[in-house]
């Protein structure tokens, strides 16, 4: 295969379509050649405004100069300092940066891995090992990854586990406090929704998995792939109370919602709830593979040396990038920008929702910070029993709107089994670029609704 400089974009795409596994899906049939800030440039010359951030990874924009320089400098020092052989400085520096950013001071023990899925695997293993219990409780609609343990606690779509059962045993699922899954109106008070779900959890502990057999409850404080639904404060506090009562560990999965995405460093801060294990990844190193399993020393001291590890775990280059990313978060006042841009994004989406031309087609606008979703109505619904079917609206609104956005120069993603589009722009996106993306999105909605 010749270099990309001498090979046409079309032939590169054709080569990829032939030789890259069909198990991967793509938003565009194109080669992404350059990323800078809130934009990516494709091999065919298109410059795309990126409201995906690599699915919540390039939170500081593509190729942030300080982060990229830190990684490049580290490459000339040491690249692979294997974690089971010795410490390396960026690993320890990253812990120093993260300690003051933790949602609770008890979180003081760190293990860095490569991906969110691996972090989930590590948390499940840790919970089982330190409690001596086996069962894990997860949430309906959750996404935790595609490896076998993570796949077993993923309940957002069947595509992730289709055809590969049996999965890891000992997993029990309870409803997440999401009005659509529960079949109640979107304006149902959060306290009522929380009460319904906590009641189901209590029944589960009486009917299916005894608390003394239950190692952990795992939850995303903002449901990710399941539809960008923030968990009510009352529900998270109820989980904490149940875990405290029965000695169950509470695993808070902030792989997507963490590291500034929701307007706080970690979304769990909105509830004041203390995690027993906190999972972080995606934006942690702004594009370099890195995840973290963070707990408290009294828990991790129960682990046997050698029980955790991984060839590339806590890679020195990724950790150096993450140290720089942590510095940028502070120096560039990233959280302030998230909260300012969040207000503008919600305002733009709610304006669409209140417009009589679109109102029947829009069920909900929700999220936190710059982790935001709009849910459209559907004539068919997610199931034949979907309470919120609306025969008068166009079919497949979310995917059609997303496709139209791409045609207009905006990368954006759908999510969940419902008609949902998610907004994941860079956390440092400018007011101008956010407004540009919102304008493209509004135009796409108008055109698809008009087409019917």
d(C-alpha 160, C-alpha 86), whole Å: 36
For residue 7, what pLDDT is reported? 84
3 pLDDT exceeds 60?
no
> Mean of the pLDDT values across residues 285-292?
98
Side-by-side strand order, sheet with 32-36: 32-36, 39-42, 47-50, 410-411
Give residue-wise pLDDT tens across range 35-94. 999 999 999 999 999 999 999 999 999 999 999 999 999 999 999 999 999 999 999 999
1 pLDDT exceeds 70?
no
Give residue-wise pLDDT tens across range 126-174. 999 999 999 999 999 999 999 999 999 999 999 999 999 999 999 999 9
* Residue 437: CA count within 13 A, CB half-sphere: 28
For residue 324, what pLDDT is reported? 98
> Mean of the pLDDT values across residues 10-14?
93
Give residue-wise pLDDT tens across range 391-408. 999 999 999 999 999 999
What count of other Cβ atoms lies within 10 Å of the Cβ of residue 26?
A: 10
For residue 119, what pLDDT is reported? 98
Give residue-wise pLDDT tens across range 318-368. 999 999 999 999 999 999 999 999 999 999 999 999 999 998 999 999 999
d(C-alpha 21, C-alpha 23), whole Å: 5
For residue 5, what pLDDT is reported? 53
Domains and CATH numbers, the chain: 9-60+333-451 (3.90.1150.10), 66-331 (3.40.640.10)
What share of the chain has pLDDT > 70, as a percent? 99
> Mean of the pLDDT values across residues 382-391?
94
Under the banding of pLDDT at 50, 70 and 90, the label for residue 21 is very high
Residue 210 tokens, joined: 């005894």
Under the banding of pLDDT at 50, 70 and 90, the label for residue 6 is low
Give residue-wise pLDDT tens across range 254-287. 999 999 999 999 999 999 999 999 999 999 999 9
For residue 452, what pLDDT is reported? 85
Distances (CA, A) of 183 to 41, 176, 180, 186, 193: 42, 12, 5, 9, 11
* Mean pLDDT value across the chain: 96
What share of the chain has pLDDT > 90, as a percent? 98
């Amino acid at each position: 295969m010749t270099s990309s400089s001498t090979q046409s974009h079309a032939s590169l795409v054709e080569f990829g379509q032939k030789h890259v596994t069909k198990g991967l899906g793509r938003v565009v049939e194109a080669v992404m050649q350059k990323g800078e800030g809130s934009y990516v440039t494709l091999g065919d010359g298109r410059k795309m405004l990126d409201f995906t951030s690599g699915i919540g990874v390039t939170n500081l924009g593509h190729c942030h100069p300080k982060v990229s320089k830190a990684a490049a400098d580290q490459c000339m020092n040491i690249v692979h300092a294997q974690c089971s052989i010795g410490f390396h400085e960026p690993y320890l520096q990253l812990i120093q940066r993260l300690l003051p950013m933790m949602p609770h001071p008890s979180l003081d023990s760190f293990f860095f891995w490569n991906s969110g899925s691996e972090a989930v695997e590590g948390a499940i293993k840790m919970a089982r090992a330190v409690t001596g219990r086996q069962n894990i409780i997860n949430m309906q609609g959750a996404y935790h990854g595609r490896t076998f343990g993570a796949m077993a606690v993923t309940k957002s779509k069947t595509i992730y586990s289709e055809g590969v059962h049996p999965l890891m045993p000992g997993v029990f699922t309870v409803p997440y406090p999401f009005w659509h899954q529960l079949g109640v109106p979107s304006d149902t008070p959060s306290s009522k929704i929380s009460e319904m779900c906590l009641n189901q959890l209590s029944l589960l502990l009486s009917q299916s998995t005894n608390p003394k057999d239950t190692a952990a409850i795992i939850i995303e404080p903002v449901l990710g792939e399941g539809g960008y639904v923030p968990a009510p404060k009352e529900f998270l506090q109820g989980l904490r109370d149940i875990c405290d009562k029965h000695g169950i560990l509470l695993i808070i999965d902030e792989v997507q919602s963490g590291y500034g995405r929701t307007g706080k460093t970690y979304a769990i801060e909105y509830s004041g709830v203390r995690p027993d294990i906190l999972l972080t990844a995606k934006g942690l190193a702004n594009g370099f593979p890195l995840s973290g399993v963070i707990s408290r020393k009294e828990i991790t001291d129960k682990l046997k040396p050698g029980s955790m590890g991984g060839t590339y775990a806590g890679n020195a280059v990724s950790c150096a990038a993450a140290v720089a990313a942590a510095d940028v978060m502070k120096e560039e006042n990233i959280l302030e920008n998230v909260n300012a841009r969040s207000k503008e994004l919600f305002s733009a989406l709610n304006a669409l929702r209140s417009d009589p031309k679109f109102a029947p087609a829009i069920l909900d606008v929700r999220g936190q910070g710059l982790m935001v979703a709009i849910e459209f109505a559907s004539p068919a619904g997610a199931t034949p029993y979907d309470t919120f079917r609306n025969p008068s609206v166009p079919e497949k609104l979310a995917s059609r709107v997303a496709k139209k956005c791409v045609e207009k120069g905006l990368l954006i993603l759908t999510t969940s089994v419902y008609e949902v589009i998610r907004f994941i722009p860079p956390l440092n996106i400018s007011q101008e670029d956010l407004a540009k993306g919102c304008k493209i999105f509004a135009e796409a909605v108008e055109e698809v609704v008009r087409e019917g």
